[in-house]
Amino acid sequence: MADVFQFLSSASLEKLTGRKAENLDGLLDLIKTCPDTSIFYHTFSAYMKMREIRLPYNNDFTYWISSSLNEKALAEKIMAIDLSEYNTLTSLRMRLIEIIEEYRRRESRTFRKRADDPFYLYDIIRVVYLTDKFAYDLQSFREVLATISIYSIYLHFIECRLEKDLHIDDFSTWIEHSLHLPDLARKIKKIDLTAYTMEGLRTRIIQLIDEHARQR
Amino acid sequence: MKEPTLFDYRDVVGPGIIEELTILASYLAGRSIKMVSSTKVGGGVAEILHRIVPLLNELGIETTWDVIKRDEAFFTITKRFHNALQGYKDHFNKALLDAYMAYNEKNNAELDFDEDLIVIHDPQPLALINWHQKRNNKWVWRCHIDLSHPHSHLWRFLKPFVEKYDAAIFSSPLFSPELTIPQYRFHPTIDPLADKNKELDAAYIDSVLMHYGIPRDKPIVTQISRYDPWKDPVGVIQAFKMARKYVDCRLLLVGDKATDDPETESMLKLVRAEARDDPDIHILLFNPSKATEINAFQRASNIVMQKSLREGFALTVSEALWKRRPMIGSAAGGIPAQIIDGYTGLLVHSTEGAGLGIRWLINQPDFAQQLGENGHQRVKANFLITKHLKRYLLLLLSLDNQRKHTIFLS
């Protein structure tokens, strides 16, 4: 019998820090000195915000660099960071610093350019909590997935990569190790996060489950 | 009419969101909140509290709402405070500041503050904290106004009171000053089931437009805002005229009927002069209490504009986006938080930009429709009252765990 999967969820409260950046130098300073939770907020948390609708940006830094500084190339380089490869905030912070400093070596003039609008640094308080939703098998998993809030999907599919220092998500882990369905787990694991809204992600996972069921 | 219950919001935001509110609230059973504001009638603060308070109670958080007593003199003082804190020049002598303190002291004597969380709204009752420096509960100041450039003398007087609170809440980082206490961001939100935002049937919308003599023979561009220089109604007419050289459309301006305000009258004269009896420009003076009719105007519009020169949060933007209206807004105040340029609407920086925006959206209805749909999703995720409720629940949880960045509830 499979282990029970209890759905968790998370919510966050945004804190204003009073710190802001007016140019790329200022942004670099914020990234170097802000708490881990600010990096988390502007990357992982922002990931969900940017996926309400189909936006090309996947975090707050890229949105600001693109829209307020018009440095599209730098925005693209940061956008291309695969969050699943930088699964600690320290490594993600270092990667951000590395990309921006490399850009400074090549495009130093851009660091003096003043942004149209400041970048405001936030911090957050995260609350992770249990829901009363459980899955016992693939069918019950599909049923819950269809109605659970997107915050729960976000926690199990994106945020957990950070929490558990794994390159994989909770859903595919459970499907592989508890339901012993490695093929389906592999397909879920391979979903390109950048291609979907959060609702789109829900639909895609359900689609893969349905395809799997049809093939059996 | 019966007020909507939490259950009624399930169909709007989805059952998952309501379930999460219920789960979060279950960790707060027996907790209590008191809201304190200066009025129960009129204005955005009262509007949101009228809905938030019963819904928090429904979630099991015992929530009360007290209003401070005030007379004409206190009203005048705090109106001047309000304006000066948003940047107007003024002079405040000792007698006036003493009077402000006396009103707060009198109100403090008449109110109880036994709840777990006391939320004081805006500057009028701010100084109540003065008599509660030793306390067993948490006090939070909710500031709804733009404090980014406050009158320096007045701010030196008020800031020590603010810093006696456990935390402050602002609508945007744009509006918050530097403080020694934690600050949280609560976006203002709209109620999707309120008269101003609820679904309307097409026949009703038609009847409202017919009643006000607005033909539906061509696309309608609308701005709903006070006749106030900061809302730039004259600029809206100029943008409309620029666009109309290329696209046939009508302009509908709907503004508050605050006729006792001499500024409204002089602004209206300018607006009418700019419109020059153009039959395609409709200028309505409207009582804001006619919320369902305002809803109908928004829903009948092909484009909604908010061309403010200076703005607070401008929830009129979220109201229009919720109705899936393509929106053109200026990059002022809280508007860019609601409009992501090219995705949930068009952000403009000039009258010319607004004119181009009208042409663009009328000529590209598919794009306009996509903007409206995206805008609806953005409002659904960020600017509905259910999000506001969630923030209050999270605030209660975080004030219990002020040193923690992550709180695990089990």
CA dist., res. B395 & res. B31, Å (int): 12
Show the domain range for A34.
13-123
**Contacts with B17 from chain A: Cβ below 8 Å:** 149
Higher pLDDT, A82 or B37: B37
CA dist., res. B185 & res. B182, Å (int): 10
Beta bridge partners of B303: B221
Coil/strand/helix, residue B53 = helix
Shortest distance between the Cα of B170 and any Cα of chain A, in A, equals 9
Higher pLDDT, B191 or B43: B191
> Considering only A185-194, B205-214, B262-271, B317-326, which range has the smallest mean pLDDT?
B262-271
- In sequence order, the 6+-apart residues with CB closer than 8 A to the CB of A190 are none
Residue B309 reports pLDDT greater than 70: yes
- Domain match, A81 and A28 both: yes
Q: Which of A156-160, B31-35, B405-409 has maximum average pLDDT?
A: B31-35
CA dist., res. B371 & res. B364, Å (int): 11
* Token code pair at residue B366: 């598919």
- Domain match, A17 and A107 both: yes
- Domain match, A108 and A153 both: no
**Contacts with A13 from chain B: Cβ below 8 Å:** 184, 391, 394-395, 398
State which residues of chain A have pLDDT below 50. none
Beta bridge partners of B102: none
**Contacts with B178 from chain A: Cβ below 8 Å:** 18
Q: pLDDT at position A1, please?
A: 61
Beta bridge partners of A134: A6
What average pLDDT does the segment B59-87 reach?
A: 90
- In the Cβ-directed half-sphere of A1, how many Cα atoms lie within 13 Å? 4
How many Cβ contacts (< 8 angstroms) between chains A and B? Answer: 106
Label residue B313 by pLDDT band (50, 70, 90).
confident
Shortest distance between the Cα of B295 and any Cα of chain A, in A, equals 25
- In sequence order, the 6+-apart residues with CB closer than 8 A to the CB of B352 are B239, B242
Task: Tell me if B173 and A120 make a contact (CB, 8 A cut-off).
Answer: yes
Number of domains in chain A: 2
In 3D, which of A114, A139, A14 has the Cα closest to residue B394?
Answer: A14
CA dist., res. A74 & res. A98, Å (int): 12
- Beta strands B62-67 and B32-37 are parallel
Label residue B259 by pLDDT band (50, 70, 90).
very low
Distances (CA, A) of B253 to A140, B169, B244, B350: 53, 33, 16, 18
Q: Provide CATH code, domain B202-382.
A: 3.40.50.2000
Q: pLDDT at position A58, please?
A: 83
Task: Tell me if A13 and B377 make a contact (CB, 8 A cut-off).
Answer: no
Please name the member of B378, B381, B409 whose beta carbon is closest to the beta carbon of A127: B409
- Domain match, A149 and A171 both: yes
- Domain match, A119 and A140 both: no
Interface of A to B at Cβ within 8 Å reads 9, 11-16, 18, 20, 35-37, 49, 52-55, 67, 117, 120, 122-132, 147-152, 197
- Domain match, A136 and A119 both: no
Task: Tell me if B405 and A125 make a contact (CB, 8 A cut-off).
Answer: yes
Q: pLDDT at position B261, please?
A: 62
Label residue B51 by pLDDT band (50, 70, 90).
very high
CA dist., res. A180 & res. A208, Å (int): 16
Q: pLDDT at position B122, please?
A: 92
Beta bridge partners of A8: A130
- Domain match, A91 and A23 both: yes
Domain-ending residue, one of A123, A146, A181: A123
Protein fold of B6-189+384-400? Rossmann fold (3.40.50)
In 3D, which of B312, B274, B295 has the Cα closest to residue B224?
Answer: B295
What average pLDDT does the segment B53-58 reach?
A: 97
Please name the member of A36, A55, A149 whose beta carbon is closest to the beta carbon of B20: A149
A191-216 exposure pattern, b = at least 16 Cβ within 10 A, e = fewer = bebeebbbbebbebbeebbeebeeee
Please name the member of B343, B391, B409 whose beta carbon is closest to the beta carbon of A13: B391
- In sequence order, the 6+-apart residues with CB closer than 8 A to the CB of A170 are A5, A156, A157, A160
Angle at B208 between CA B202 and CA B211, to 5 degrees: 140
% of chain B beyond a pLDDT of 90: 74
Shortest distance between the Cα of A19 and any Cα of chain B, in A, equals 9
Coil/strand/helix, residue A183 = helix
Residue in A7, A8, A13 to test binding to B, most B beta-carbons within 10 Å: A13
- Domain match, A60 and A30 both: yes
- Domain match, A104 and A175 both: no
Q: pLDDT at position B252, please?
A: 98
CA dist., res. B338 & res. B318, Å (int): 7
Domain-ending residue, one of A123, A144, A178: A123
Residue span(s) of chain B under CATH 3.40.50.2000 come to 6-189+384-400, 202-382
Beta bridge partners of B66: B36
Q: pLDDT at position B257, please?
A: 62
CA dist., res. B94 & res. B328, Å (int): 46
- Domain match, A132 and A92 both: no
Q: pLDDT at position B264, please?
A: 77
- Domain match, A24 and A118 both: yes
Domain-ending residue, one of A91, A108, A123: A123
- Domain match, A98 and A146 both: no
